Amino acid sequence: MTQRVLSTRRDLPGSGLARLESQVEVVSWTGTGTPKPAELARIAGGANGILALGNDRIDAELLDAAGPSLRVVSLASMGFDAVDQQAAADRGVVVTHTPGVLAETTADLAFALILMARRRLASARDCLHAGGWSVFRMDDYLGLDVCGATLGLLGYGQIGRAVARRAAGFGMRVLHHDPFAPQDDHLSWAVDFATLLAESDVLSLHVPLTDSTRGIIGADQLRAMKPTATLVNTSRGGVVDEVALLAALRDGVIHSAGLDVFEREPRGADVTDLVEQSRLVALPHVGSATEATRAAMVDLAVDNLLDVLFGRSARTPLPGTAAK
């Protein structure tokens, strides 16, 4: 019997979607923007698999709309916070994601944000574009050094370690805090959370968004950081309390921040005071956005989907999800 897959997008990079279409029947959502669960539910009936992006909400209503034939939800994303994992487990649906293939690219972006925020490069470039570079002054565009600074990594998985490797080339001292990686290694010293906050010149976040990490960087944590510190977030927006960060930047509690992710995405015209802060560099969730990496994410997501549909073990199921 032909397998049927709901793809939440048609405009996916690389050849993964075409490969999927050559093996199963694919029904794609063809609207613009981000599909609402109810829109997906209308076309999900009878699906054996769902191919989705990390910010597509996969809830019980959508799983039920697909019905008992549904066996796998495959995310072309490392993050899986938009999936109701309990609802999937209750219905025997395997959920897979795409760790690994995006780690190096996302680490590059984290490092770009570290350099941009700390060296105030976006402000300097904006000034040049606005015709404001009329004289060379010794005290213009002054930032803080990245070389030789202390980098703190909250979360020391694949992306955190890839950032640590880059930091070695900048002569940085690297600290990390991660309950799942509590040991020192040749790149980084394991420390407790309080030490990480107190000693980091740059704090870079690499944790998934879960009940225990939501808002983990709030007003108290920002106050525990150095006034010269830079906060960088390429993980998920909900890890940082944005109201507290806005206040911290306005009041000079920390030096600067670089954000690739926000509590609500996408933002469109809904840019807040946060994005307008001169000490903040903001990007529209482009951590994994290279042609090769986005294509590799789709490829791995398609492999996972086909594996489950054709009775093999998924390559990269969510932690704690039984591969079928």
Q: Which residues are catalytic?
A: 236, 265, 285
* Cβ 283 to ligand DGY shortest distance, Å: 12
Q: CA 257 to CA 37: how far, in whole Å?
A: 33
Strand pairing category for 230-233 and 189-190: unpaired
* Cβ 294 to ligand DGY shortest distance, Å: 9
Q: Which is nearer to ligand DGY, 48 or 98 (CB)?
A: 98
Angle at 155 between CA 119 and CA 318, to 5 degrees: 130
* Cβ 234 to ligand DGY shortest distance, Å: 8
Quick check: 115 and 93 in contact, CB under 8 A?
no
SS (H, E, C) 157-223: CHHHHHHHHHHHHCCCEEEEECCCCCCCCCCCEECCHHHHHHHCCEEEECCCCCCCCCCCECHHHHH
* Cβ 70 to ligand DGY shortest distance, Å: 22
Beta bridge partners of 95: 73
3-state secondary structure of 122: helix
Q: Which is nearer to ligand DGY, 172 or 231 (CB)?
A: 231
Q: Which of the ranges 73-81, 128-136, 222-230, 315-323 carries the binding residues for ligand DGY, by CB under 6 A?
A: 73-81
> Is 77 among the residues that bind ligand DGY (CB under 6 A)?
yes
Pick the binder of ligand DGY from 16, 37, 49, 79 (CB under 6 A): 79
Q: Which is nearer to ligand DGY, 54 or 152 (CB)?
A: 54
| 259 Cβ contact list (under 8 Å, min separation 6) | 113, 232, 233, 237, 240, 274, 280, 281, 282, 283
What are 87's two structure tokens? 């609802």
* Cβ 208 to ligand DGY shortest distance, Å: 9
Quick check: 301 and 76 in contact, CB under 8 A?
yes
Pick the binder of ligand DGY from 5, 287, 300, 321 (CB under 6 A): 287
* Cβ 97 to ligand DGY shortest distance, Å: 7
Q: Which is nearer to ligand DGY, 78 or 196 (CB)?
A: 78
**Residues touching ligand DGY: how many (CB under 6 A)?**
7
Residue ranges in 102-141 that form contacts with ligand DGY under rule CB under 6 A: 102
Q: Which is nearer to ligand DGY, 163 or 253 (CB)?
A: 163
Pick the binder of ligand DGY from 6, 78, 301, 305 (CB under 6 A): 78
Q: Which of the ranges 71-79, 125-133, 221-229, 247-255 carries the binding residues for ligand DGY, by CB under 6 A?
A: 71-79
Q: Which is nearer to ligand DGY, 3 or 288 (CB)?
A: 288
Q: Which of the ranges 75-83, 88-96, 139-147, 267-275 carries the binding residues for ligand DGY, by CB under 6 A?
A: 75-83
Residue ranges in 39-58 that form contacts with ligand DGY under rule CB under 6 A: 54
Please, is 168 exposed, middle or buried when counting C-beta atoms within 10 Å of its C-beta (0-12, 13-18, 19+)? Answer: middle
Sign of CA dihedral 241, 288, 44, 40: positive
3-state secondary structure of 104: helix
Quick check: 117 and 280 in contact, CB under 8 A?
yes
Binding site for ligand DGY (CB under 6 A): 54, 77-79, 102, 287-288
